[in-house]
Amino acid sequence: MTIKEGVRQLFKKGEPHNKKTSKRERADNLRGWAVIGPLVLYYAIFGLIPLGIVFYYSFFKDDLFAGKVFVGFENFITFFSDEYYYTLLFDTLLIAVFTIGLSLAFGLLLAKLMTSQIRGKSFYRTVYYLPVVISMAVIAQIANVWLEYNNGTVNNLIVAFGGQRIMWKDSTFWMYFWIIVICVWKGLGATVILFVAGLSGISTEIYEAADVDGANKFVKFFKITLPQLKPMFIFVLITSIIGAFNVFEPVQLISAGGPDGSTKVILYQIYDEAFQNGNFGMGSAISVIVMVILFILTALNMKFGESKD
């Protein structure tokens, strides 16, 4: 029997074998849907439906007397025509650039150290990952104790060394500084673990060949390590961008957007518009804009991060 005849026989109607195959396929499909069905349902309920509601509300404005009023694209026009929102975007980008840059630099450095021949590597990996699993609310409370003016830990140390107390929360510079430090410290463990996984996947034979050719540490790092880490680097960069634009808890719990609203970020403004001012339409419109910005940045990173032939 030729292959063509076998295929024809397989799909011939009325054959028992075809019925058995169909039953088997249906059973496999049912098992597959039984596995992914709850995930799809969860994503639809907590992802797609809320997203649709946000899009819907973005075209409305909440009026104290008239209630919910359809305004079309007015909320989006207001966002792109008001300098206040540009300042919010700039402040968010400022925190994002420093947070991402420091996280990538220190994460790669620590990952490189943890993949070298040192004792207690597992212990150090655990220590650096601990901040990731600690709630930001707890970290913010600790930070508030550290930064308290009269009895704060940092000010007490400064006074002990002969310095003057600093009013941390009255300074825009220091509030930005501490928010960036806390965000970097909180997420550094995840970055380190990912880079450790990437470094562990690089074949030692490549480094051995480079040693034979007389390559030094800097050449091996820039010519071998970084190119081999490119896929992981792009993944970490994308997740870091998303995380940087989602900075909210440190601003709310430490600076409360102050002093005088100078440390407000875009996500805090969404919270402020929707839940403090009761303007769910504007809050939804800003959410849609942030989603589009993140989508564009992610697409650009994936595009420029593709390996070239």
Tokens in use for 15?
Answer: 């054959």
Residue 195 has pLDDT above 70, yes or no: yes
Helix (H, G, I), strand (E, B) or coil at 15: coil
Find out whether 192 and 109 touch, Cβ atoms under 8 Å.
Answer: no
Q: What angle do CA 221, 240, 288 make, to 5 degrees?
A: 150
Is 254 exposed, middle or buried, given 0-12, 13-18 or 19+ CB atoms closer than 10 A?
A: buried
Summarised one tens digit per residue, pLDDT across range 200-252 is 888 888 887 888 878 788 888 888 888 888 888 888 888 888 888 888 888 88
| Mean pLDDT confidence for 245-270 | 84
CB neighbourhood size of 132 (10 A)? 15
Phi, psi (rounded to 5 degrees) for 72: 65, -125
Indicate whether 5 pLDDT > 70. no
Question: H/E element holding 231?
Answer: helix 230-245
User: Tokens 């940045």 map to which residue?
Assistant: 297
The pLDDT value recorded for residue 125 is 74
Q: Does 10 have pLDDT greater than 50?
A: no
Cβ pair 196, 121 in contact under 8 A: no
Examine the pLDDT at 15 and tell me if it is beyond 60: no
Q: What is the pTM of this model?
A: 0.77
Provide the sign of the torsion angle of the four alpha carbons 144, 147, 152, 157, taken in this order.
Answer: positive
Which of 222, 238, 215, 253 shows the shortest CA–CA distance to 302? Answer: 238
pLDDT of 103-155, one tens digit each?
A: 989 988 888 888 877 777 777 777 888 888 888 888 888 888 888 888 888 88
User: What is the distance between the alpha carbons of residues 100 and 186, in angstroms, rounded to a whole number?
Assistant: 12
Q: Are 98 and 173 in contact (CB under 8 A)?
A: no
CA distance 252 to 238: 24
256: left (phi > 0), else alpha (psi -120 to 50), else beta? left
pLDDT digits (tens, 9 = 90+) for 165-189: 888 888 888 888 999 999 899 888 8
User: What pLDDT is stored for residue 70 in this prediction?
Assistant: 85
280, 304 contact by CB (below 8 A): no
Which of the four pLDDT bands, split at 50, 70 and 90, describes residue 294?
A: confident
Report the C-alpha gap between 104 and 198 in whole angstroms. Answer: 13
